Structure 1
Amino acid sequence: MSRKASGFTLIELMITVAIVAILAAVALPSYRSYVTRGRIPEATTALASKRVQMEQFYQDNRTYVDAPAGNNDTGTSTYFDFTAAPGGAETRTATGYVLSAVGKNGMTGFTFTVDQSNAKRTVVSGVPGWTDTTVNCWLTKQATSC
């Protein structure tokens, strides 16, 4: 009486490992891009909110100088530092400002800005999978234009 072998052969196991490796090679870059795109609204939403606060301050005081929304903010976001750029509060004048969200941690290489005329700008530099670019809008996906 012979016993029938049960289980997987080595070749079947190797084919399964190869298929999983191919799927992972395709899925991992897409997942990283998805996670990065999911973090961008943190910057753009905060900048839009800070811009509204700047305009409210201007309505009350007829100047942007000393507006609290333009102060450096490095603690409220995990992935972005917010500043009045370049150089901080001294760039705020009676009639203008530039607010910036500069990426940190997993978002290093991204910089988003907005000014008093609502001119938006994105600078992407050295981010794997993203083209180094500077555009006059807020990029939310891997592209060189909005």
Structure 2
Amino acid sequence: MNKRQAGFSLIELMIAVVVVGILTAVALPSYNSYMMRARLTEAFSGLAGIQPKMEQHWANTRSYAGFDADALGLMPRDSEHFTFTLTEASASAYVVTATGQGSADGFVFTIDQNGGRATTSAPTDWVTNDACWVDRKEGQCAE
């Protein structure tokens, strides 16, 4: 009585390994890019959220100076990926900065009193932009 052996041949296993390798080579860079864009939205939402609070302070006092966001708890909370600071505040101007840390190290985003958004620093393989917050290596602006 001849019994046929069940299982996979070496060629079939090698083909499966090659297919998984190709899929990984294609998918992993896309996934890493997606994860970085998700981390960057922490900075974008934090900076966009502080702007109305700064404008409310100006409407009440006619000055950006004296805005003690830390004491009032108005600054966005530092996260795993970004720290937020009020870097400049005068009677007529302010700049709030989000500085990357951890896996977002190297990124620095700002917003000013006119709503001007800028990417002032980025990792070496990324493009910066003085007119917007970039969320892709090519320097494409975040929407």
What range is the shorter-chain TM-score in? 0.7 to 0.9
User: What is residue 101 of structure 2 aligned with on the other side?
Assistant: 104
- What is the deviation of 1:78? 2.1
User: What is residue 79 of structure 2 aligned with on the other side?
Assistant: 77
Separation of aligned partners in 2, 1:63 and 1:106: 36
**Mapped pair 1:135 → 2:130:** yes
**Mapped pair 1:126 → 2:123:** yes
User: What is residue 12 of structure 1 aligned with on the other side?
Assistant: 12
Contact 1:70 1:84 in 2 (8 A): no
Find the residue that maps to 2:30 and give its secondary structure: helix
Separation of aligned partners in 1, 2:134 and 2:123: 15
Separation of aligned partners in 1, 2:7 and 2:120: 55
Q: CA RMSD in A?
A: 2.2
User: What is residue 88 of structure 1 aligned with on the other side?
Assistant: none
The one-letter code sitting in structure 2 at the alignment partner of 1:24 is T
Find the residue that maps to 1:123 and give its secondary structure: strand
Contact 1:73 1:81 in 2 (8 A): no
**Aligned sequence identity (%):** 39
User: What is residue 93 of structure 1 aligned with on the other side?
Assistant: 90
Please report the TM-score for the alignment, with normalisation by the length of structure 1. 0.83
Find the residue that maps to 1:21 and give its secondary structure: helix
